[in-house]
A = this chain, B = another copy of it.
Amino acid sequence: MRRFATIKDIAKALGISVATVSRALRDAYDVSPQTRKLVLEKAEEMHYKPNFNATGLVKSSTHKIGVIIPAITNYYFSTVITGIQEVAQSKGYNIILYITNDSPELEKKIVYDLSLSSLDGLLACVSSPSDACKHFQELIDDGLPVVFFDRVPEEINISKVMQDDYNGAYQAVKHLIEKGYEKIAHITGPKGVFLTENRLRGYQDALQDHNLALDNKWVVYSGFSQKDGESDVAQLFTENLKTPDAIFAVNDRKAIGAMVALKRKNIRIGAEVGVIGFTNDPICEIISPTLSTVAEPAYEIGRKSCELLLTHIKKSTFIGEEVVLSGELIVRESTSRV
């Protein structure tokens, strides 16, 4: 059994009380400079490190925040986490990582097993469809500060941080139209997710505002992965008599899947079929042709979410706030007709 130096050991070694040691290690408002110095030296010598279980127990605050996220093996999420981590670390908070693998069941289990009392707050990007977030609602009702980011549930009234999906999508589609594409398809994520619904609305409104017809056959729902992008395109080009001349993908990974599928069909990207994504994954600049996209402020979303959560934790009366960060259209080769 491991045993580390405690405050008691220091007290015994110096022949003073634990209360004095405790004071010396924190604020020195009630301890003489001499004993304070003695204590600090002894602590250093004995490799003393505070036991956060004990402090957490008595102060009922743990300086730990949970982060629930579908995956981390992609640019967007890993960048968001980096932002979260930086803010948390600078304020003395640790982050505990939970990965749901985009499985609503696993998410539910994780949230249900979550020990409220060993977490000061929670950041979450949900995998479940918006209408099935009871498990989160319970946490919030029990008083745990929660901030949602990116994929946020619609009904829950609490702080949310997200990019401007609607306008980003609108800009992307408007760009396609301005480039002269007219038969624009959209490959999106699963139904019932707030984020995808917003991008879909942006797509639809951009088409309507420019007098282009909506066709439900040109909207393909599936998952978020590259493979999904490939199969979506396969579907688009077999099912329809009229094939699209441009594709707006819900994210870069699906856009890349689309490009792979198009290349396989020997369709020239840009010249014959324009492709635009959403995220601005670094891969956009490396793939050939380079991929136009809407840059998401991933890092900023991470930072902002964490900052918001920390103010939530500080003052429990804090009211929910919705932060929308805007993206930026980035034009590259995949939407160039020449």
Contacts and interface: CB of A to CB of B under 8 A. Distances in A.
Interface string A245-282: 00000000000100010000000000000000000000
Majority-rule SS of A interface residues: mixed
A114 B287 CA distance: 41
A35 interface: no
User: What number of copies of this chain does the assembly contain?
Assistant: 2
Which has the most chain B C-beta neighbours within 10 Å: A3, A94, A143?
Answer: A94
A138 B53 CA distance: 21
Given A2-B316, A47-B142, A97-B85, A118 B53 contact: yes
A300 to B, nearest CB: 14
A233 to B, nearest CB: 15
Contacts of A97: 81, 85, 94-97
A-side interface size class: 35 or more
Nearest to A82: B73
A197 B299 CA distance: 33
5 contacts: A1-B60, A53-B57, A71-B82, A85-B97, A286-B286
Interface of A: 1-4, 47, 49-54, 56-57, 60, 62, 64, 71-75, 78-79, 81-82, 85-86, 89, 94-99, 114-118, 138, 142-144, 256, 260, 283, 286-288, 316
Closest A-B pairs by Cβ, 3 of them: A52-B118, A53-B56, A51-B117
